Amino acid sequence: MDIAHIPTPLGTAKIEGDENGLSKITVLDGEETITDVIPETLEDAVYQLQEYFKGERQEFSLTLNPEGTDFQKRVWKALKRIPYGKTASYMELSKLVGDVKAIRAVAAANGKNPLWIVIPCHRIIGSDGSLTGYAGGLHRKKWLLEHEQPVKQQSLF
C-alpha cells in the first residue's frame, strides 16, 4: 500500500492506495511530515485534490478501491451522485440507495466513508438544513460546503 501526506487548507491529507485504486483519504489533526516524492500510484489523486482545493475541479475521475460491505459501497456510490455545490438529507440519500427505511444504516455507512472529499459525505445535512456529524469535524464540513458554493462572499476591506 502506497501512502502520501499532502497539505490542504483543512490539515494534512493522508492518501492511501495502490495499482488497484485509492482505498483511503483522511484528514489528520496532528503534524505530519509532508511527502516529498509522491508514489506514482497516488500522483493523479494528489493532483486532483490540489485542483479541488484551488476551485478548479468539481468532479473526480479516479479509480476507487475502498474497503466496506456491499451496503456501504452502495451508499458511497449514491453519495457520488450528489453534485458539487449541492446538499442532500439523510432521507434523500436513503431514497438514492433505494430504501427509505434504512435511514439509520445509510447514516452509519455515510459515517464510515473512507475517501474524504472524493466520495462527498460532507454534502449530507440534516433534514432541517443543519450541519450534522462529520468525521473530519463540523468546522471542516462547513468549510467544504462554503468552498463548493458558486458565489463567494467578497470582503469589503
Nearest to 87 by CA among 136, 126, 139: 126
- Three-class DSSP category at 45: helix
**Do residues 82 and 88 lie in contact, with contact meaning Cβ atoms separated by under 8 Å?**
yes
Three-state DSSP state, 32: coil
Per the residue annotation, which of 118, 121, 124, 125 is the catalytic one?
121
Distance separating alpha carbons of residues 37 and 27, to the nearest angstrom: 19
Closest by Cα among 42, 9, 44, 45 to 27: 9
- Indicate if 121 belongs to the active site: yes
Give catalytic residue positions.
121
